[in-house]
Chain A
Amino acid sequence: MRSRVLASMVWMGVMAAGGSASAQDRRVDAPWRLSFDVGARWHHDSGLDAFGETRSPPVAGLSFGRDLVGLGDRATLAVDLSWNAESFEGRLRDSMKSRLTAHSMSAGLSLRVRTLWWLEPYARVAAGALYSDMLLTPESDTSQGGALTGDEWTFMGNAGLGVQVTTAAFLGTLRGAFALEGGYQLALSQEMRVHPQALSDEAAQADRLPVMDTSLGTLSQSGGYLRVLLGLRF
C-alpha cells in the first residue's frame, strides 16, 4: 500500500514536471506540512550494545511544519516541530532482558530552494531534547529483585540536507509531500542511573527499604541519520 502511494506521488510529480516553464517557477501555495517519518540512526557509542544486537534500530516519528517566509523567488524558510523514537531491545549477558527507548523532540528550521515547483532541496537544523528510558529485567526465576529502570533527559541537535518532492494538488488544496533527508544528530552524553522498578502495590512500595541508585555509566546517542518523510502539505 505504502509503495503504491509513493509511486503515485512520484508519478504525479513527474507529470507536473512536464508542464510549461512558467509552471516550473510557480511557488506551491501549501504552507503547512504534516508528515510521518521513518528511518534509522547509526550510533557509534558501543555502550548501546548492552541493549541488543544492533546500534541502528528503526526510527519512527511525526513532524508538523509551516513555511514562514519566502526569501527571494525560490527560497523558503520553514519551521517544524518533530518527535521520533527508537527502541533497542536484547539480552544482556544471558541474564537479563534489556531495553532502551529514546525519544527525540526538536524544533527545526529549514531553508528550501525550489529548483522545480515540485522539487526542493533543503537544509535543516534542529535543536531539542532527548529522553532515554531503560528497563533491565532479570531472566532468572530465582531472582527476587524485579526489574531495574532509569531515565534521563539531555539536549540534542541535528543538521541535515534533504530533498522534498511535492505532488500536484488533489482533494482541493491537499498535496502529497515526500522527502529524503540525511544528516548528523549530536546529543550530549547522558549518565544513566537505575533503581528498582516501583511495585504496583503502593503500600508495599512505601514499605520497601530505601535503595541507592546505581550509575551504569554514560551514553552518547550521537550519530548519522537518514529519514524518509511521507506527508501532506496544505
Chain B
Amino acid sequence: MNVTTHSFNRYRSVALSLAVALTACADRDARYELSMRTLAPVAAGNALVYVQPALARATVVDLSQPAPAVRQVAVGDDPVLVQPRVAHDEALVLSRGQRGSAGVAPAPASLTAVTASGATRRWTLGSPFNALSQNGDGRYVMAYFNNSASAGRLLFNPNEVAIVDLDRAAATGNPVVRTVRSFGGVPNGVVFSPTMTVAGEPRTLAVVLSDAYVTLLDLNHPERSEITVRLTLPEDARAIAPAQVVFDTDNATMYLRADQSNDLYVLRLLTVTPESATANDFRPTLNQLAAGVRPADLALFGGATARKLLVVSPGSRDARVIDTVANTTTVVPLDAVASRVLLFNGPSPRSATSELRALLYSTRGVASAVSFVELTDIESRRSQNVETLQLGRVINQALALPERGVVMFGHPSSATGSLSLLDLGRRTAAPIFSEVALESARFDDDRQALWVAPPTGERLGYIELTNFRPGEIRLDAPITDVIPVSGGTSRRVVALHDAADGWITVVDGTDVTRERSRSLRGFLLTALLDEGEAQ
C-alpha cells in the first residue's frame, strides 16, 4: 500500500512538473511595451537623428549613400532635448537620467553627442537639466534649467549650470558644474560670445541672462569664479529681462538690451591683476545709454576705433546712432516703425558702390513699409539718409538673405500673395504667392534653396535662391516637417511624414523630381526583433 502510494505521488509529481513546464511561458519583454514617441528629429550632417525617450535610444538614418543606413545608438536615460551641434555634423542629446525605483538603479543626467556614423561620446552632467545653449562655433555647450519647466526631482537648484567643452572627452573638469550667483532670479537664457580678446587673451565668455542681472563665465578658465553684474539698483525690483547681447570683440565690450528697459547696458571688460588663482583677470564696468522707447534691436558698425551702435526703438518710432567712443547719440526719425535691424553690404539705386547699409523693418504686423539707411554720414544727414519703401501690406515674418541681396517678407494672406521678395540693391519688392507661412520654411545648408511645406499638404515647395524660381513636388503623404541635410557633394531634403514607425521621403535637392525621390518606412523599428536578445 505504501509502495503504491509512493509511486502514485511520484507519478503525480512528474505529471505536475511536466504540465507546468509545458504551460509555462516567459514574461513578455518589457521593451515591446514602451512608447514609440520620438523627439522632433534633427539633422547631423548628412544624417537624420531621431530620439526615442522611452527606449533611451537614438536612431541615426545615414543618408550619405543612395541606400540609407539605419543605426541605433544608446543615449542617456530620459532624453528630453535633441539639437544639432553648431558647425559640426553631430546631434546633442540632453538626458535627465533616472531617479531610480524598485529594481531600477538611478542614472545620472548626461549629454550625448551622436555623429552621422552613429558614434557617440557622453558626458555625465549630474543634475537633470532641461535646456541647452551652444556657442557660435559649437565648441561649448551650457546645460541649465529652463525656468518654465519642472525638474522632476524633490530638490533642485535652478541656478546650477554645467558647461561642457565638446572638443574634450569627459574628464575631471569637463563638464564644469557651477551654481551661478543669484539675486533671487533664475537663468532665462545663455548667450556665448565669439572669441574676444580680454586682458590680452582670446577667450569665450558665457553670459547667463537673468531677470535683472547677468552672470559672466570665462570658458577658457572654468576654475575661475563667475562675475555677476546687477543691471538695476538693489532696491529696484523690476525684472527688466535682458534679451540681446552684442559683442564688440575688438574692444572687450558687450552691449545688452533688455525687453523691459529703455536703456542699453554697456559692459566694458577691464584688465585687472587677479588676486588669486580662482580670481578673474578682468572686471566689468557698467554704463547705461538712453535708447529711445523700448529699444527692440541693435547692431554694431564702424571700425574698431570708431564703433557705433544702430538701435531701433519702435516705441519712439526712431532709430538711434550711438557713438560708443564719443558717447553721443543721434536720433533718426523714421516714417515706418521698425523693430529689426539688418546690416548688409550692397549697392543702392543711386550708387553702384557696395558699402555697409541698413534695412530697418518690423515683423510685429504693424508696419507696411521698410526703411533703408545709408550709414555713411548718418549723424550729419540724419533723415536725409533714410529712404522708405512701401510694401502695401503689413509684415509679420522675415527671412534675411543678405548674401544674396534679398529679404523675404511674410504677410497675412492677401490677394496679392503672402510673400514679398525685397531686392536690397534695387529696393524693389516682388510678390510671391504662397500657401505656407515663412516660419515653416527651411534653408539648405548652403542656402541654395528655401523649402516649404504646408502642414497638411502632400506638396513640397521650394524657391531656388540663385534665380528665385519656385517649384514644387508631390509626395505620397502629408508632410509634417522639412529638414535639409547636406554632406559631401550631395544636397538632399528630407520630408517627414506622420507614422509611428518612421516615414521619410528623401528628395534630391539638385534634381527635384519624383524619379529621384525615395521613401523609407519603418526605420524606427529597425532591429526590433533583436531588442529582446540584447537585454
Interface residues of B (CB under 8 A from A): 22, 25-26, 28-29, 32-36, 54, 67-68, 70, 475-478, 497-501, 503, 505, 514, 517-523, 525-533, 535
Residues of A within 8 A of B517 (CB): 209
- The answer to whether B523 touches A214 (Cβ under 8 A) is yes
> A138-B499, A212-B518, A218-B530 known; 14 other A-B pairs, CB under 8 Å?
A45-B533, A46-B26, A50-B532, A53-B28, A92-B32, A93-B500, A143-B498, A145-B503, A192-B529, A195-B521, A208-B476, A212-B68, A214-B521, A216-B522
Given contacts A47-B531, A95-B35, whether A145 and B521 have CB atoms under 8 Å apart is yes
- The answer to whether B499 touches A214 (Cβ under 8 A) is no
- C-alpha gap A170/B297 in the complex (Å): 101
- The answer to whether B519 touches A209 (Cβ under 8 A) is yes
Judged by a CB distance under 8 angstroms, whether A142 is at the interface is yes
Shortest Cβ gap from B95 to chain A (Å): 20
Q: How many contacting A-B pairs (Cβ < 8 A)?
A: 134
Residues of A within 8 A of B476 (CB): 208-209
Shortest Cβ gap from A81 to chain B (Å): 26
Judged by a CB distance under 8 angstroms, whether A96 is at the interface is yes
- The answer to whether B475 touches A209 (Cβ under 8 A) is yes
Could you say which of A47, A138, A143, A211 contacts B532, with CB atoms under 8 Å apart? A47
- With most chain B CB atoms within 10 A of its CB, the pick from A47, A136, A208, A209 is A209
- The answer to whether B522 touches A217 (Cβ under 8 A) is no
Could you say which of A44, A93, A144, A194 contacts B499, with CB atoms under 8 Å apart? A144
- With most chain A CB atoms within 10 A of its CB, the pick from B32, B54, B520, B526 is B32
Residues of B within 8 A of A92 (CB): 32, 528
Residues of A within 8 A of B475 (CB): 209
- The answer to whether A211 touches B525 (Cβ under 8 A) is no
Q: Which residue of B lies closest to A191 (CB)?
A: B529
- C-alpha gap A61/B532 in the complex (Å): 29
- The answer to whether B529 touches A218 (Cβ under 8 A) is yes
- The answer to whether B25 touches A217 (Cβ under 8 A) is no
- C-alpha gap A47/B31 in the complex (Å): 10
Could you say which of A44, A54, A138 contacts B501, with CB atoms under 8 Å apart? A138
Interface residues on A, range: 35 or more
- C-alpha gap A196/B522 in the complex (Å): 9
- C-alpha gap A140/B36 in the complex (Å): 12
- With most chain A CB atoms within 10 A of its CB, the pick from B29, B35, B505, B522 is B522
Interface residues of A in 147-165 (CB under 8 A from B): 148
- The answer to whether A226 touches B519 (Cβ under 8 A) is no
- The answer to whether A50 touches B529 (Cβ under 8 A) is yes
Shortest Cβ gap from B402 to chain A (Å): 36
- C-alpha gap A139/B499 in the complex (Å): 10
Q: Which residue of B lies closest to A195 (CB)?
A: B521
- C-alpha gap A142/B498 in the complex (Å): 7
Judged by a CB distance under 8 angstroms, whether A201 is at the interface is no
- The answer to whether A47 touches B530 (Cβ under 8 A) is yes
Given contacts A138-B501, A148-B501, whether A216 and B518 have CB atoms under 8 Å apart is no
- The answer to whether B68 touches A194 (Cβ under 8 A) is no
- C-alpha gap A42/B18 in the complex (Å): 13
Given contacts A55-B26, A96-B500, A194-B522, whether A46 and B505 have CB atoms under 8 Å apart is no
Residues of A within 8 A of B34 (CB): 93
- C-alpha gap A96/B522 in the complex (Å): 12
- The answer to whether B477 touches A47 (Cβ under 8 A) is no
Could you say which of B32, B505, B525, B526 contacts A49, with CB atoms under 8 Å apart? B32
- The answer to whether B525 touches A216 (Cβ under 8 A) is yes
Q: What are 11 pairs between A and B in contact, CB < 8 Å?
A: A47-B532, A50-B32, A93-B32, A136-B522, A145-B498, A148-B501, A148-B522, A148-B525, A192-B529, A208-B476, A209-B476
| Cβ proximity bits A47-81 to B, threshold 8 Å, 1 near / 0 not | 10110111110000000000000000000000000
Shortest Cβ gap from A108 to chain B (Å): 22
Could you say which of A49, A143, A196, A209 contacts B28, with CB atoms under 8 Å apart? A49
- The answer to whether B500 touches A138 (Cβ under 8 A) is yes
